[in-house]
Chain A
């Protein structure tokens, strides 16, 4: 690739068919930009998706793309990555696709640390099937399938990922260009499964469900953008910080205008703090919350394979078995 590609080079001729105003448009732009900025080779990149609004994504990215079946994208992507570990494999999924019907495959991709970039578009609702509550919907969500409000406890994507043994968990907001760009670059660079939760606004069935922390005007006070090795500061002029309360084993907001001595410094490798950060609400933690490098599944698979999947022996070496005899 001699000429550097731009975000536009990653757009296809296909008409994008999401609802006007859907958060997916912003995510698509951010991903196309991240691919260009990261120097991705379109021929060596594949997007694999399941079913749902988010899963239409591959049709709109000028790379290889496979729109599969409900919940199974991580399993198909695992087979693809094993067949060709050189590929840059992305999985695009929604909250129903990845945490309900496909929960098992996400679990196993994460614990194996397969080299997949998993983008979870979380809008806390089923969109494509017309608005039923999802596994991330809050208790009391009114929907066509729960007219009096849902009763099930929602799952936290971050806590789920940590419980599965994830090695990379990050968060972003669909319309936050700067934050998304950073998160996608880091996810792209990670060796293993990078699991990214993107707060995505479904303007038709669940509008503004994240408004309490995604409103631009108040975002400085409601979002905590994490940077490894830096103190956890937020608010106007970084006037507030996060402190670990040793008495209650919880995180709390403190005033940081005078001193940052008590403010926690973000350590991506700390799984305990990561779990506290995932549950933090107002501010809501964004960026790379947890990163713990480990060998990827495909690397381990090839390293343990006696011939690294090459054909070193022929059928004629094996066909006779441990003992054979001749009939004249």
Chain B
């Protein structure tokens, strides 16, 4: 590329039909990037339809990756390289680009029919639409088919290799190695030797095509320096992978098995898929008949002495709420993961949002408090899964862990932690007293207020639990008015006690007092991190949302203004106002897309302008 060859980072967007293999191409590019030592963040952005109608704008599937020397914490605001497999992909992506960006288009798809479907009245390659960009127009479909001709594939089979042809081009542009991708193709297509060989051939042909510059001189190699990262072993990881590993690690730390019970739903299903691969760590997966059965089976597993875990997205979580109340009443440990997506109702299944915070903190009948945590990055899903399990077992309570659709699929480099740094997870022992089994089952640890975990099969400890109110001392059913007040107070105190076990809230960066602090939670971490670094503003990021860290009120009180950017209509703002009597400035974005850094920078600067 002739404009600058020594960039610190670059944003690339791949876009095409949902059947073009864009997600596969993107994730393989991310892996090869990781192996080359670059920092990166990815953003798979795909439609809800599996194979949306060809050539349409709503059927466009995209994969954005930001890579470079870092620290990279977002998939990037504006792509500097766009690979558009068809006119619709160009139409959808072009508004995101800054002038001067490099646009690679597949000539073969720019037919009159496809142009009409994309809503173009004339060919954008010829009517001046692309004047402000560097264009590389290649006959990718045609060249790819030529390259795999020798395998005697049908036209559609041969066509399916074109994502690897284009990937070959990209790998040359960024000086990435072919062998890791080749190895992946060999593993994945081991049972289909012809397709395997054809895809490898397409990969090499695309690479050679870019190198021998059969097209314009615009396409010269871009060299990115490796990232300046902390020493250690690294791997590429998505939120779903990290959360699965975190749950399995938690099971090992607790020396229990995990029984993961769920019902398929977008974007939560990748966690189910990942956990099936960890079976040999004592992980069981049960695909239940519905969301309610999923949480109920998890509760049953916890009752039986395994760590019950369920996962879903907002609509499925809504169905689980009655059972959450049961787990609160029966005081059984349970981890509930919510991969949030756009709502209400079915909403935007494949787009991200963080609008289930009210649901997590407040969304149950009765006074039914549950600890709520959130993960900030894909890698952090690992630690938060361990933390959620630890709280569940210590306090004998369900715990909600909020993640979101973006984290589920987004990949980043992750420093592999040393497991010896994690404390074992312990549950409360069964008291060795002469009390009745019923009373012994409800004997509490004085600090956590968690009860003993007595499970069927233990001799001499037969007792009854359930959703009816129980006597605070004996554990038997009780409708006594004063007792219900005491039990309600106890359940609240138990969740409040979680705050005694968590670290004080720290400041990510910036001064510890001043005119402005930005408070984030969940996956807005990436863009808020960058925006606050750029503007030199203080940044606080929350992982514990219920209860809040004990020092948070005092900490926020040191700042004149508190800015809360959220991908919802102001839910954390409400929570902070209600709990800490602060009056934050809400900055909301509910488009199904993550925040851009520049949107946050603009907001921060306008707030500072008001202050001065």
Contact = CB atoms under 8 A, between A and B. Distances in A.
A14 B301 CA distance: 26
Contact of B416 (A65, A66, A320): A320
A326 B293 contact: no
A67 interface: yes
A191 interface: no
Interface of B is mostly: mixed
B274 to A, nearest CB: 10
Nearest to A328: B231
B245 A80 contact: no
A66 B466 contact: yes
B293 A75 contact: yes
Interface in B369-417: 416-417
Interface string A296-328: 000001000111011111111111110111111
A314 B281 contact: yes
Interface stretch (A83-91, A118-126, A149-157, A262-270): A83-91
B502 interface: no
B323 A44 contact: no
B288 interface: yes
Interface stretch (B199-207, B249-257, B335-343): B249-257
Interface string A94-107: 00000000001101
A80 B237 CA distance: 33
Q: Which of A14, A67, A319 has the largest count of B CB atoms less than 10 A from its CB?
A: A319
Interface stretch (A55-63, A170-178, A228-236, A283-291): A55-63
A81 B304 CA distance: 8
Interface string A63-74: 111111100100
Interface residues of B, number: 72
Contacts, number: 210
Interface string B464-475: 111110000000
A260 to B, nearest CB: 45
Interface of A is mostly: mixed
A187 interface: no
A220 B127 CA distance: 94
A306 B279 contact: yes
A323 B235 contact: yes
A90 to B, nearest CB: 11
A76 B249 contact: no
B459 A43 contact: yes
Contacts of A39: none
A325 B231 contact: no
B232 interface: yes
Nearest to B477: A59
Contact of B232 (A42, A62, A81, A326): A326
A43 B231 CA distance: 53
Nearest to A46: B456
Contact of A108 (B234, B280, B293, B299): B293
Contact of B466 (A12, A67, A108): A67
A99 to B, nearest CB: 15
A92 interface: no
Interface in B451-467: 455-467
B297 A82 contact: yes
Given A79-B286, A104-B289, A311-B257, A318 B308 contact: no
Interface stretch (B8-16, B30-38, B427-435, B585-593): B30-38
B326 interface: yes
B257 A309 contact: yes
Contact of A316 (B292, B299, B301, B419): B419
A313 B297 contact: no
B305 A64 contact: no
Nearest to B295: A75
Contacts of A307: 279-280, 282
Given A107-B289, A306-B280, A44 B233 contact: no
B298 interface: yes
A321 B236 contact: yes
B288 to A, nearest CB: 7
A324 B305 CA distance: 35
B419 A315 contact: yes
B514 to A, nearest CB: 34
A113 interface: no
Given A79-B261, A80-B303, A314-B281, A72 B456 contact: no
A77 interface: yes
B244 to A, nearest CB: 9
Contact of A320 (B235, B257, B304, B467): B235
Contacts of B279: 305-307
Given A79-B301, A315-B249, A68 B233 contact: no
Given A82-B286, A83-B259, A43 B460 contact: yes
A105 B251 CA distance: 28
Contacts of B251: 311
B557 interface: no
B330 interface: yes
B284 interface: yes
Interface in B287-334: 288-290, 292-293, 296-306, 308, 322-323, 325-326, 330
5 contacts: A312-B281, A318-B278, A319-B245, A319-B416, A323-B34
Given A46-B456, A68-B467, A75-B296, 11 more contacts: A58-B464, A64-B462, A69-B322, A79-B300, A79-B302, A315-B245, A320-B416, A321-B235, A323-B35, A326-B232, A327-B37
The 7 closest A-B pairs by CB, nearest first: A79-B300, A83-B304, A67-B466, A79-B297, A75-B296, A311-B282, A75-B293
Interface of A: 12, 14, 42-46, 48, 58-59, 62-69, 72, 75-84, 86-87, 104-105, 107-108, 301, 305-307, 309-321, 323-328
